Structure 1
Amino acid sequence: MIKMLHSYWAYLVFLMMVIATVNALIKHFGKKEYEPIDFRIALFTLIVSHIQLLIGIVLWFTQDYFGESTIKEVMGNSALRSNAVEHPIAMLLAVAFITIGYSKHKKKLTSAGKIKPIAIFYTLALVLVLAKLPWNAWFNL
C-alpha cells in the first residue's frame, strides 16, 4: 500500500514541481511581480514534496532492497543500485533544494529577490527528479 501511495503521490509532486518551476522562471525572466499565487504555488510544492519524502523514507525502510545481498552485490546490480541508493539520494537532494529555495525566498523583500531563489532551486530540484525518476515504472502503473 505504501509503495502504491508513493507511486501515485509522485504524479502530484511532479506536476507541482513543473508548475512551480515554470512559473518562477517565467516570472524571473519576464521581470514580473511576485504575487500571492506565487507564494501559494511554492508552498504547496514544498508541502507535497515533503510528504512524498516521508512516504519514501517509510518505503525505503520497509522494502527489503538488500535481502541477503552484500553492499558490493547491490552496487554491482544497476537496477537494484538505482532503486535502493541513487533514486533515494537524488530525491532527498531535490527536496533539500526545494526547501532551500523556499526558505531563501521568504527572507527577501523585493519581488525580484523573492522569485529568483525559487527559480534557481526549484529548477535544480526538477532536473534531479527528471534525471532519477524511474520512468519505466511510471508508465506501467
Structure 2
Amino acid sequence: MYTGLQHLHSYLAYLVLLGLIISLLNALTGWLQNRRFQDKDRKRSLLGLIPVHLQWLIGVVLYFVSPLGAANASGAAMKDATSRLYILEHPLTMIIAVILITVGYSRAKRLKTDNARFKNLVIFYGIGLILVLSRIPWQAWFAAN
C-alpha cells in the first residue's frame, strides 16, 4: 500500500504542476487582456484546484503511513535536512499552498469585476505554485530517474 501511494503521490505531482500552470496562465492572459471572466475560465481555474486537493488528501494519508513522515518525527530528525523536509517543511508548505489556492478560487467566484477575478487568481495561484515548487523534494525526483 505504501509503495502504491508513494508512486501515486509522485506521479500526481506532474498533474498538479500542469493544472496550476494552465490555470495561472489562463488567469494571467485574462487579466492582461482585460477579458470577460466566463464559465470556461472558472473551469480552467478548477484544473489547478482539483488536482491540488486530491494530491493533498493522498499526501495526508502518506504522511501517516510513510516511515519518512510522522513516524520519523523526533528531535534528531529535525537536525537532518532531508528528514526535516519530509516531516515538517514539505507538509506545512503544501498545506499553506492548498489553503491559498482554495481561498483564491473561492474569492474569485465572489468578486464582482472580471479584472479583479483574474487578478485574484493570478496572485493566489501564483503564490501557491511558488510554494509548491519551493518544497518539492527534487532530490527524490531526480534520484528516481
Using structure 1 for the length normalisation, give the TM-score: 0.91
Shift of 1:46: 1.0
2:61 paired residue among 58, 61, 72: 58
Letter in 1 for 2:23: A
- Measured against aligned partners, the alpha-carbon deviations of 1:70-99 in whole angstroms (never above 9, x if no partner) come to 622111000110111101111111111110
Question: Is 2:49 aligned against 1:27?
Answer: no
Contact 2:97 2:131 (C-alpha < 8 Å) held by counterparts: yes
Rounded to whole Å, the distance in 1 between the matches of 2:70 and 2:26 is 43
Rounded to whole Å, the distance in 2 between the matches of 1:53 and 1:75 is 23
Identity %: 38
C-alpha RMSD over aligned residues: 1.8
Deviating more after overlay: 38-47 vs 28-37 = 28-37
Aligned residue number for residue 110 of structure 2: 107
Map 1:1-141; keep pairs closer than 5 Å: 1-65=4-68, 71-139=74-142, 140-141=144-145
Secondary structure of 1:133's aligned partner:
coil
Using structure 2 for the length normalisation, give the TM-score: 0.89
Deviating more after overlay: 27-36 vs 111-120 = 27-36
Rounded to whole Å, the distance in 2 between the matches of 1:134 and 1:118 is 26
Rounded to whole Å, the distance in 1 between the matches of 2:141 and 2:72 is 26
- Measured against aligned partners, the alpha-carbon deviations of 1:38-80 in whole angstroms (never above 9, x if no partner) come to 1111113211110100000000011122688662211100011
Rounded to whole Å, the distance in 2 between the matches of 1:75 and 1:119 is 34
Contact 1:90 1:128 (C-alpha < 8 Å) held by counterparts: yes
Contact 1:66 1:74 (C-alpha < 8 Å) held by counterparts: no
Structure 2 runs not aligned, ≥5 long = none
- Aligned length in residues: 141
